[in-house]
Chains A and B, each alone.
Chain A
Amino acid sequence: MSDPHLPSEAEIVERVQESPTIFTLRLRFTDPAEHAAYRFAPGQFNMLYLYGVGEVPISIVSDPGDEHLFDHTIRVVGRVTKGLAQLKTGDRLGIRGPYGRGWPLKEAEGRDVLIVTGGLGCAPTVSVINYVMRRRERFGQLVIIQGVKHANDLIWREQYERWSAVKDTQVLIAADVGVQLWPWHVGRITELFSMAQVESSRAVAMMCGPEGMMEVAVDHLCGRGVAENAIWLSMERSMHCAVGLCGHCQVGGKFVCKDGPVFNYPEIKTLFRAEGF
């Protein structure tokens, strides 16, 4: 892309309502050459532009090997996402990206992978889970720890059930509030950490979600001997430009949009728990 600011037109090929407030858009650039040339890594994000309203940064959930479409899973939280939710199959929107640094998937090969996510934090990590699942033989244990507020908030439930049946894969899910026939834990996500079957010395942890949850997860992992530099976190901050110019996403000297959004824990450790950064 020659101009880092300029979006390209994309078409909604499919729209999936995941929950009352969460939906997935499956997209294709309308210019076939641009679509064919488009590459991204799990953990990277695009800026989605809704005509006449504005842009939002949204992570890409689909697999980079899927040449047909790329997917964004979005929760309705603000002006732009509320509008995006109204779009239908065939509608057009603007896309620019991909931006930022994704997950350390090459470094994770041959090691146990621990995924920790809360809330809709699952969207950026689902791209990792899918990536590992499709290349299962390259990785050790895969442990997925997911927390939701209410059992009804869990999207992709069938997928989690399918994943839990895969060899060397452990799925641990906690809902603060359960429902009847909820097969997983009722309580805090933090209560699941000690059940994770990973070898601390060969584990790579990747997490995304509320920072309070990630803080507890980091403490637990460090406490059981996982090296700090084996912990990776996907951070969220306000972003307008996505290319390190507008200044909104800074955490200390880091620009989350271009230095992240995925950070190695030691890179952001000093300000991770500080209020106001």
Chain B
Amino acid sequence: MPGNYLPRASFQALLETLQQTGYRCVGPQLRDDAIVYDTLRHVGDLPRGIRDLQAPGQYRVEKSDCPRFFAWANGPQALKPLLFAPQEFLWKTERAADGRLRFVAAVPDAVPTAVIGVRACDLAALRLQDAHFLKDPSRDAHYAARRERLFLVAVHCTRSAPTCFCASTGDGPRAEAGFDLSLSELDDGFLVEAGSDTGRGVMARLPLEAASAGQTQTADAEIAQAAKQQTRKLPSRNLQAALFANLDHPRWVDVAERCLSCANCTSVCPTCFCHSEADQPTLDGAGSVHARQWDSCFTQGHSYIHGVTIRADTRLRYRQWLTHKLGSWHEQYGRSGCVGCGRCITWCPVGIDITEEATAICGDTTHV
């Protein structure tokens, strides 16, 4: 039986194999004191010996002695910006001198991309974004083109941030499915597993060695430890009924006094899908480009309709977000829209904690 252990010294072979297969590699790297995903050319660009310190309203990175590339929980981005672009053109209009209009669909910008270092929560969020953007008859051509050309290298989490709660949503810390390859990171190397035929093809070209039973045990124990580290949790039941039964709960007023309605939470949320569309005329007057960009239910304009703003204040906007994320998602996509990544907690400037708000409003009992 061929081995499944990739020594750390051979990690560059994974990048090169993917590049030779035609993929642009994207992976985590340290930039502006945060771990972000961008084009990855060399293993040396990975955030080796970097760990993150997260808390409500707080994100810091610091150096550590750990030789690992992925010994951190997550950064502000998930897969979302790679598939659902923060801004992109949908179509353009050309106007002839006689006033005739011609509409031209934008060709999806979709370079085959391999993402290295995908977390379990990100894979869960991807499944939800797939359910939203790939549903017929309104399948989104731009999202679909990128999705079809995506190769995913997951990394099981061995370290949870204090803001992580994926164990309670059932989405991590082990990446169970939806990847092409998965990696368990050990001090000296990686245990590799294939999750698709494409993944098996790539795996066959890697300089793998036999893994020992001890390595597998260590890897499993570290993932289990990451789950145990988590202190936050969402009530595990479907909260839709409880949230909508508590629309007048005083906690909405309380949270609105803290919330800045800044939309950071919806930007970092890996499942939030709201976007606006707007026309951008070219300066020569001969054309106009129709673009979409991420929008947020925390903005004044999100619910505006000819003179009326349905959600004029922060209380109604936070309530919209939470009742949708943890409530209406069940009706729309068969599960909660939260995957437990904790980003909305970390990146909230005032540290509002979704698990705390949901528990305060719904209670943590098993009854509605």
Instruction: Report which A residues bind B (CB closer than 8 A).
Output: 3-9, 30, 49, 51-55, 77-78, 90-94, 236-238, 240-241, 243-248, 250, 252-253, 258, 270-271, 274-277
Instruction: Determine if B310 and A6 form an interchain contact, defined as CB atoms under 8 angstroms apart.
Output: no
**Within the complex, what minimum Cβ distance (angstroms) separates B291 from chain A?**
11
Partner of A51, one of B275, B288, B297, B329: B288
User: Is B101 interfacial (CB-CB < 8 Å)?
Assistant: yes
Instruction: Determine if B244 and A240 form an interchain contact, defined as CB atoms under 8 angstroms apart.
Output: no
Q: With A250-B324, A253-B332 known to touch, is A94 a contact of B93 (CB < 8 Å)?
A: yes
Q: Which of B56-64, B111-119, B226-234, B298-306 contacts A (4 or more CB under 8 A)?
A: B298-306
Can you list 10 pairs linking A and B with CB atoms under 8 Å apart? A6-B90, A52-B285, A93-B101, A240-B276, A244-B138, A252-B328, A253-B329, A253-B331, A253-B332, A271-B244
Closest to A274 in B: B247
**Within the complex, what minimum Cβ distance (angstroms) separates B231 from chain A?**
31
Q: With A4-B138, A246-B295 known to touch, is A52 a contact of B105 (CB < 8 Å)?
A: no
**Within the complex, what minimum Cβ distance (angstroms) separates B114 from chain A?**
26
Q: Which residues of B contact A91 (CB under 8 A)?
A: 99
User: Is B311 interfacial (CB-CB < 8 Å)?
Assistant: yes
Q: Which residues of B contact A276 (CB under 8 A)?
A: 310-311, 315-316, 319-320
Instruction: Determine if B138 and A243 form an interchain contact, defined as CB atoms under 8 angstroms apart.
Output: yes
**Within the complex, what minimum Cβ distance (angstroms) separates B28 from chain A?**
28
Q: With A246-B275, A253-B331 known to touch, is A52 a contact of B307 (CB < 8 Å)?
A: no
User: Is B278 interfacial (CB-CB < 8 Å)?
Assistant: yes
Instruction: Determine if B279 and A53 form an interchain contact, defined as CB atoms under 8 angstroms apart.
Output: yes
Q: With A248-B295, A253-B331 known to touch, is A241 a contact of B277 (CB < 8 Å)?
A: yes
Q: Chain A: interface secondary structure? A: loop
Q: Which residues of A contact B319 (CB under 8 A)?
A: 276
User: Is B251 interfacial (CB-CB < 8 Å)?
Assistant: no
Counting contact residues on chain B (CB < 8 A from A), the size range is: 35 or more
Partner of A245, one of B95, B132, B311, B315: B132
User: Is B214 interfacial (CB-CB < 8 Å)?
Assistant: no
User: Is B102 interfacial (CB-CB < 8 Å)?
Assistant: yes
In the assembled complex, the Cα of A8 lies from the Cα of B275 at a distance in Å of: 22
Q: With A51-B93, A238-B302 known to touch, is A245 a contact of B276 (CB < 8 Å)?
A: no
Instruction: Determine if A6 and B138 form an interchain contact, defined as CB atoms under 8 angstroms apart.
Output: no
Partner of A277, one of B135, B141, B310, B332: B310
Q: Which residues of A contact B95 (CB under 8 A)?
A: 51-52
**Within the complex, what minimum Cβ distance (angstroms) separates B12 from chain A?**
39
Q: Which residues of B contact A274 (CB under 8 A)?
A: 247
Q: Which residues of A contact B367 (CB under 8 A)?
A: none
Indicate with 1 or 0, residue by residue over B262-296, a CB within 8 angstroms of chain A CB atoms. 00000000000111111101000100101010010
In the assembled complex, the Cα of A73 lies from the Cα of B272 at a distance in Å of: 35
**Within the complex, what minimum Cβ distance (angstroms) separates A82 from chain B?**
11
Contacts A55-B277, A248-B276 known; 19 new A-B pairs at CB < 8 A: A5-B290, A6-B105, A30-B100, A49-B93, A51-B288, A52-B279, A54-B278, A92-B101, A237-B303, A237-B310, A240-B276, A240-B277, A245-B273, A246-B295, A248-B274, A252-B323, A253-B331, A276-B315, A277-B310
